[in-house]
Structure 1
């Protein structure tokens, strides 16, 4: 387990491991394409005897798991009496609790070093004799491999290229990850949320209020547990912002007398000491150590808004209807950032630009009611605030 932790927290080892993983998956994918023939095309109305469904998304990124949540509800509405199982990972499945799933199958990260665990999992899935296997992500090689090897009577997923991959294929491409989910479920003929979903319990909400009061116990003049800005310091690989950026943002928040909480992910432990030191003399800020994911979600749900890079907590905020200020460094992130009217997207901003966006939210300039349902053809308009020094970005969503 120490080796896995080292890989996750070392940038270069993570890049190397990712490269080797992709090469191995590509090799397996080529073998499956050669051995297994293409499935015959079907329509959802022609499927008979759909009693057991497996939704497949074995990904360790929190955001990817959250993006898949509307699929569960759509299939439950279309097949209300069917058993719906979900293939998730041991890291992400807590986010899927409270959704209408009958059983979870979990892939552990230790399977990277113990591949026989994958074989055991595949055997267990084949023994279930699923009627329909649903591959959520069109770009997931591991998901496709599972879909083809578990022996389900029918398969469903997003089409890719000229070769048929599934019995039922969602046609067309989406420029945003949230719309790709709507596009996938369109053959079901039911409404689908175009935003992640997360349901908290009353106990989790109560624990969150207690935690927030604890964080601000030194600031006795602040009584509200929702009047604070959440700042997530983290992100995946090149989506991260340097430590100096966050320290300057903390200084700016103090100068503007804005109450805030800084959150660190489990992979950002190296940033703990300098941020903790900067906050020792803070009058308005607090540092929240890493929490269990659902506890973190409940605390985040009490925030006025979240300032974050392209990250898992960004999608958590979207699921909780918390306004976001997304700090974008890569163009590909524009396909994932929340884009409701109350969300703000900043392209490589200066600190002053971030503070202006926070102030605009506090003044109520971005406050509108969230839009939860949409079709793939009714896409919200994205608003990107671009500093003068950056080239404008163009997007079709």
Structure 2
């Protein structure tokens, strides 16, 4: 957006144009530099992959069951939940194998709650996305330690669930067999690439993960597994709610108003406030806001706009405590976000409001509990791709604004009345 420079007259206008051109030129230079760095890295990794492949031909899937399996998913909370049916399928296929998951430090606490995973190794691949992280010796020392830890495990199988970086670390693990989608991996880096890439077909992220598990010798059917939330965390959140004058028998609707990968996925704060007000004035339901510290700005906007008392625990919980709170909720309402998918994985009734993302791909995967997704069907929606954050290319995410609070309230009341309905709804607003 152009910078406005105070002042009047031709001199001020010339100065403004000069500043804007300078800012634009610097942004273009930074973007070009990042592209060049990525291109060089892509070529270098591809060449090294080709040379190592020439000395080490692709292996067939094991005739003997693998003893050590590495699953690499370097993504956010919702992506972890999407990957777990594939991990559970690997556990069923190879019950005696040790399964390790390599994931981001932020997502590691959630991954550790799944019993199909034996060990979690955190790896901050985002550290090298900044100049300071890229040149920091501490970053490379941390990577070296993870590299040594992986090599010491002697993995028989590594599965790259998504992206080039995951494919690279799958190979760096030293696993004798590495599997992932060929279209998402660095060239020649996987021993057994699966043709294609995600999103070539309109199917769920879970199904793409199960496709990789099947390539590794596991059944596509998989087994549903929920995070195991320790009783101590659930009780801790019950105490927090009691302090907010919410009893153990009170009906709770948890709202997560944020979105961790793009502002276009957020429903307007005024809509969330109206939704909470209507619920609390028409029923005995109590509304609780949840989320991380980065969700505080929108939470403050909701609290300021609301006419009823809303309890906010935004920024006051760990990932584990968030899971305990979601498990306590009678309904979880959110846009397409990590907490929505965690709640679905915990078998809680969920209500999603979608715009730029496609529910057929990123919709909540509930178990025996009901789920509803509301969205406005517009020619420009869905527009989200995993290659970038969800920002509206038109500058105004009208697809989110056009879902009215009343329709959300009506859907919430149905879910609260029939939480065990097996058939999931997908309502077009």
For normalisation by structure 1, the TM-score amounts to 0.76
C-alpha separation between the residues in 1 aligned to 2:164 and 2:314? Answer: 34
> 2:66 aligns to what SS in structure 1?
coil
Q: CA deviation at 1:103?
A: 3.0
Q: How many residues align?
A: 349
In 2 relative to 1, CA 315–339 (structure 1 residues): closer, same or farther, beyond 3 Å?
closer
C-alpha separation between the residues in 2 aligned to 1:92 and 1:144? Answer: 18
Q: What whole-Å deviation, never above 9, does each CA across 1:51-86 have from its counterpart, x for those lacking one? A: 322211122x11112222233332233233333222
Structure 1 residue aligned with 2:417, among 350, 363, 379? Answer: 363
In 2 relative to 1, CA 65–17 (structure 1 residues): closer, same or farther, beyond 3 Å?
farther
**Is 1:265 paired with 2:292?**
yes
Structure ID, larger Rg: 2
Q: CA deviation at 1:31?
A: 2.1
Structure 2 residue aligned with 1:148, among 171, 178, 182? Answer: 171
Matched with 1:208 is 237
Matched with 1:297 is 323
C-alpha separation between the residues in 2 aligned to 1:20 and 1:212? Answer: 49
> 2:254 aligns to what SS in structure 1?
strand
Conserved 8 A contact 1:216-1:286 = no
Conserved 8 A contact 2:341-2:365 = no
Structure 2 residue aligned with 1:167, among 186, 191, 209? Answer: 191
In 2 relative to 1, CA 103–17 (structure 1 residues): closer, same or farther, beyond 3 Å?
farther
Q: What whole-Å deviation, never above 9, does each CA across 1:184-206 have from its counterpart, x for those lacking one? A: 21242446547663111222222
Matched with 2:112 is 97
Matched with 1:374 is none
In 2 relative to 1, CA 92–21 (structure 1 residues): closer, same or farther, beyond 3 Å?
farther
Conserved 8 A contact 2:89-2:223 = no
Conserved 8 A contact 1:182-1:194 = no
In 2 relative to 1, CA 160–100 (structure 1 residues): closer, same or farther, beyond 3 Å?
same
Structure 2 residue aligned with 1:32, among 45, 53, 61? Answer: 45
Structure 1: tracts of 5 or more residues without a match: 1-15, 370-380, 388-397
> 2:328 aligns to what SS in structure 1?
coil
- CA RMSD after TM alignment: 3.2
In 2 relative to 1, CA 111–197 (structure 1 residues): closer, same or farther, beyond 3 Å?
farther
Matched with 1:44 is 61
Map 1:198-277; keep pairs closer than 5 Å. 198-217=227-246, 224-225=249-250, 227-235=251-259, 236-237=261-262, 238-257=264-283, 258-277=285-304
Conserved 8 A contact 1:339-1:382 = no
Map 1:81-160; keep pairs closer than 5 Å. 81-98=96-113, 99-108=115-124, 109-110=126-127, 112=129, 113=133, 114=136, 115-116=139-140, 117-137=142-162, 140-160=163-183
C-alpha separation between the residues in 2 aligned to 1:191 and 1:232? Answer: 32
> 1:301 aligns to what SS in structure 2?
helix
Matched with 2:91 is 76
Matched with 1:384 is 426
Conserved 8 A contact 1:228-1:303 = yes
Higher helix proportion: 2
Q: What whole-Å deviation, never above 9, does each CA across 1:130-177 have from its counterpart, x for those lacking one? A: 22211122xx11101112333321112234389776334456756111
C-alpha separation between the residues in 2 aligned to 1:195 and 1:363? Answer: 25
C-alpha separation between the residues in 2 aligned to 1:24 and 1:147? Answer: 21
Q: CA deviation at 1:332?
A: 3.6
Which deviates more, 175-184 or 109-118? 109-118
Q: What whole-Å deviation, never above 9, does each CA across 1:199-220 have from its counterpart, x for those lacking one? A: 1122222223222322334xxx
Q: CA deviation at 1:94?
A: 0.7
